[in-house]
């Protein structure tokens, strides 16, 4: 995920608003206690998501893939006064850890945290969303996109994470087999780029954020 020189990355972090105490603690404890801590959004991406949310002032956000809750907390910071964020994750083993940080954040009342299969949950959601953040298993990205599309308001946003996939999307060698996750991301990026119902910008922030605005 390190696409920029380390000194540039450090400079960018030094000139970005700091994490809150709760987020900093969540960041540390995820890295010290939880497997695959690179899945956590982290400082720069977290502040970016928070900034987007503050710009949009969403009433409803859907997040697909909670992990330990860092990105959910960042997105929830910009919710409208009566706003709500629904976050879905299939890993029940992280529930107690994640809920403890939601409780400490002061945003717990705005977060609806559900454990289960997103593909089964999404069709039953009746909300109209201002933002959908996709950050779950890569093989199902296209399924999540299609399931949520009609639930996003016109002018709303679908933000998809990990679309640069540690740079693998640009490292395809002719004649060599591409792993399933990389191929899924390549196909997803192509599909989004060709979707005439949206306009898109792919930002090389951390592992890549694809911002799709529904027309």
Cβ neighbours for 111, distance < 8 A, ≥ 6 positions apart: 72, 73, 76, 84, 85, 87, 102
Over residues 135-160, the pLDDT tens digits come to: 999 999 999 999 999 999 999 999 99
Those residues with Cβ within 8 angstroms of residue 128's Cβ, 6 or more apart along the chain or in another chain: 60, 151, 152, 153, 156
Tokens (6 digits) for 203 = 């930002």
Average pLDDT of 85-89?
Answer: 98
Distances (CA, A) of 178 to 117, 126, 160, 189, 213: 27, 38, 21, 15, 29
The answer to whether residues 148 and 158 touch, using CB atoms and an 8 Å cutoff, is: yes
Q: Which tokens is 102 given?
A: 């939601």
Collapsed DSSP state (helix, strand, coil) of residue 119: helix
Q: Which helix (H) or strand (E) holds 87?
A: strand 84-89
| pLDDT over 80 at 107, yes or no | yes
pLDDT in tens, 12-62: 999 999 999 999 999 999 999 999 998 999 999 999 999 999 999 999 999
- pLDDT above 80 for 118: yes
- Going from the N-terminus, what domains does the chain have, and what CATH number goes with each? 6-214 (3.40.50.150)
pLDDT, position 183: 96
Confidence of residue 174 (pLDDT cuts 50, 70, 90): confident
Q: What is the pLDDT of residues 68-78, one digit of tens each?
A: 999 999 999 99
Predicted pLDDT at 4: 78
Please report the pLDDT score of residue 91 as a whole number: 96
- Say if residue 3's pLDDT is above 90: no
Q: In which band, very low, low, confident or very high, does the pLDDT at 120 lie, cut at 50, 70 and 90?
A: very high
Query: Which pTM does this prediction carry?
Result: 0.96
CA distances from 87 to 7, 113, 145, 170, 182 (A): 34, 5, 15, 31, 25
Residue 1 has pLDDT above 80, yes or no: no
């Amino acid at each position: 995920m390190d696409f920029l020189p380390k000194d540039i990355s450090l400079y960018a972090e030094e000139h970005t608003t700091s994490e809150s105490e709760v987020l900093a603690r969540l960041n540390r404890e995820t890295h010290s206690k939880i497997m695959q801590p690179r899945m956590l959004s982290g400082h720069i991406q977290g502040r970016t998501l928070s900034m987007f949310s503050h710009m949009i002032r969403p009433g409803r956000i859907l997040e697909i893939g909670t992990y330990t809750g860092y990105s959910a907390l960042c997105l929830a910071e910009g919710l409208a006064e009566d706003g709500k964020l629904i976050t879905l994750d299939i890993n029940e083993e992280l529930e107690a850890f994640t809920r403890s940080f939601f409780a400490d954040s002061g945003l717990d009342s705005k977060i609806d945290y559900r454990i289960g299969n997103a593909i089964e949950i999404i069709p039953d959601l009746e909300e109209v969303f201002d933002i959908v953040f996709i950050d779950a298993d890569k093989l199902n990205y296209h399924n999540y996109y299609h399931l949520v599309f009609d639930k996003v308001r016109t002018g709303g946003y679908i933000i998809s994470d990990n679309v640069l996939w540690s740079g693998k999307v640009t490292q395809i060698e002719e004649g060599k087999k591409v792993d399933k996750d990389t191929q899924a991301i390549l196909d997803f990026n192509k599909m989004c780029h060709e979707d005439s119902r949206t306009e898109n910008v792919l930002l090389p922030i951390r592992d890549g954020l694809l911002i799709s605005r529904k027309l």
